[in-house]
Amino acid sequence: MALRESLKHNGIPVKWISADALVASATGRQPGLHVRLILKHWDERLPVHTMAFQQNFETRLLTLDPMASSWLMGISWQYELPADADWPRMPHPGTWTAVPAAESLPAPSPLPQEAQPASGQMTIRTRSELERELADDDERFRPSQSDFAATQTGSYAATQPAPLK
């Protein structure tokens, strides 16, 4: 649910990212879950924003289950893209160690350029309208006492092996 809400909130199509929950364990800690987010559709904007998306996802998860910090043991990414996806190819090896050239930056324009009008209809909202809209969305994701109960830790009863026949 946290993934779906994060995708919807950020305007990313639901089929682009999925998730797997993997059982994880660590020394001196109760077993928990590791969430693997799976990128299934290539869009050049996504890799730049994966960390911001991951943070948004984790925040929503903690909002839905405040006890998630006790069982969430990590989040990772897996790229599961079709072989014919149009991702960029690797640059020249020297790209990674080369000092960025100052001339590659655009020179500042001495005169401000005229802004081009946007095509299509555009809605301009005031800051208070935007803040109210964001607050309404935040309120939607807050758990209420009527429909939400925190995760209860349980104890496991001792078990005995079944007799052999």
* CATH code of residue 40: 3.30.300.10
- Do residues 33 and 55 make contact, with C-beta atoms less than 8 angstroms apart? no
pTM of the model: 0.56
Structure confidence by residue, pLDDT tens digits, 34-74 = 999 999 999 989 999 999 999 999 999 999 999 998 899 99
User: Does residue 109 fall inside a structural domain?
Assistant: no
Compute CA distances 36 → 3, 24, 26, 52, whole Å: 11, 11, 17, 16
Q: What's the domain range around 68?
A: 1-81
Q: Which one-letter amino acid corresponds to residue 89?
A: R
Pairing assessment for the beta strands 29-39 and 17-26 based on DSSP bridges: antiparallel
- Do residues 43 and 50 make contact, with C-beta atoms less than 8 angstroms apart? no
Domain count, the chain: 1
User: Does residue 20 fall inside a structural domain?
Assistant: yes
> Can you point out the beta strands (E) in the chain?
17-26, 29-39, 72-79
User: Does residue 13 fall inside a structural domain?
Assistant: yes
Looking at residue 27, what is its pLDDT? 84
User: Does residue 133 fall inside a structural domain?
Assistant: no
**CA pair distance 158, 126, nearest whole angstrom:** 62
